[in-house]
């Protein structure tokens, strides 16, 4: 995977808005696009309703992937929020990371966060921060 991830500005804004709509639980969702650029966001339900972990219910995940395919999109990443901790992948995030070629975005709900949204590559337990490049397409 490259050292950066390309994403449209409105997608970053939508991630933040989703996190603000669910301030007491980790929000989550999928990210998709074409030609390596994230152009669409698919908010999901945190089936665990937890402030510290998230899971998308298998049926909802199946439905989201069906919509992605119908639109001719490629699954390029996923996102979730951290309510009180830094927006760096937690040990649970690293353990559950199943897409080594995708970007993992984490939205911080902390007012003192240096960056509200950060993106990471997680491959075989190794975490590497990705530069978020705002795409103009």
Q: What is the pLDDT of residues 14-57, one digit of tens each?
A: 999 999 999 999 999 999 999 999 999 999 999 999 999 999 99
H-only helix segments in 52-111: 58-70, 91-96
pLDDT at 1 over 60: no
Mean pLDDT of the chain: 96
Q: Which residues contact 129 (CB under 8 A, 6 or more apart)?
A: 118, 119, 120
* CA 44 vs CA 2, 55, 126, 136: distances in Å: 26, 9, 26, 25
> Mean of the pLDDT values across residues 67-92?
96
* The CA-based dihedral angle spanning residues 10, 11, 12, 15, taken in that order and rounded to the nearest 10 degrees: 120
């Amino acid at each position: 995977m490259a050292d950066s991830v390309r994403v449209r500005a409105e997608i970053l804004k939508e991630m933040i808005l989703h996190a603000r709509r669910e301030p007491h639980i980790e929000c989550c969702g999928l990210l998709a696009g074409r030609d390596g650029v994230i152009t669409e966001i698919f908010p999901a339900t945190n089936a665990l309703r937890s402030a510290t972990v998230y899971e998308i219910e298998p049926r909802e995940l199946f439905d989201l992937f069906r919509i992605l395919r119908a639109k001719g999109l490629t699954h390029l990443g996923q996102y979730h929020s951290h309510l009180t901790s830094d927006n760096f992948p937690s040990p649970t995030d690293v353990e559950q990371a199943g897409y080594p070629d995708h970007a993992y975005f984490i939205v911080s709900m902390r007012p003192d966060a240096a960056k509200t949204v950060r993106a990471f590559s997680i491959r075989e337990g190794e975490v590497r921060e990705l530069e978020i490049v705002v795409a103009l397409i």
